[in-house]
Amino acid sequence: MERIAWNQYFMAQSHLLALRSTCQRLMVGATIVRDKRMIAGGYNGSVSGSKHCIDEGCYVIDGHCVRTVHAEMNALLQCAKFGVPTEGAEIYVTHFPCLQCCKALIQAGIKTVYYASDYKNHPYAISLFAEAGVDTQQVALEEVVVDTHHRETRHLMKKVVDKLKQSGDQESQDLAVQTQNRYQLPDKEHI
Ligand SMILES: [Zn+2]
Ligand SMILES: [Zn+2]
Model confidence at 35, pLDDT cuts 50, 70, 90, reads very high
Instruction: Indicate the pLDDT class of residue 131, thresholds 50, 70 and 90.
Output: very high
In angstroms, the Cα distances linking 1 to 151, 162, 181, 183, 184 are 11, 20, 13, 10, 8
Is 167 a domain residue? Answer: yes
Q: Say yes or no: 156 and 131 in one domain.
A: no
Q: Report how many domains make up the chain.
A: 2
pLDDT on residue 152: 87
Residues 38 and 132 in one domain: yes
Specify if 189 maps to a domain: no
Helix pair 99-107, 123-131: axis angle to 10 deg: 10
pLDDT band for position 140 (cuts 50, 70, 90): very high
CA 89 / ligand 2 centre spacing (Å):
18
What is the band of 190 on the pLDDT scale with cuts at 50, 70, 90?
A: low
Amino acid at 163: K
Pair (39, 107) in one structural domain: yes
- pLDDT category, 147, cuts 50, 70, 90? confident
- pLDDT at site 75: 98
**Average pLDDT for the chain:** 93
The catalytic residue among 56, 72, 87, 189 is 72
The answer on pLDDT for 136 being more than 70 is yes
Domain boundaries, position 162: 150-183
* Domain assignment present for 191: no
Instruction: Say how far apart CA 98 and CA 25 lie, in whole Å.
Output: 14
Q: 72 catalytic, yes or no?
A: yes
| Least confident among 15-29, 31-45, 135-149 | 135-149
Q: For the chain, how many helices (H) and strands (E)?
A: 7, 7
Q: 170 alpha carbon to ligand 2 midpoint, in Å?
A: 55
Same domain? For 35 and 126 the reply is yes
Residue 82 pLDDT exceeds 90: yes
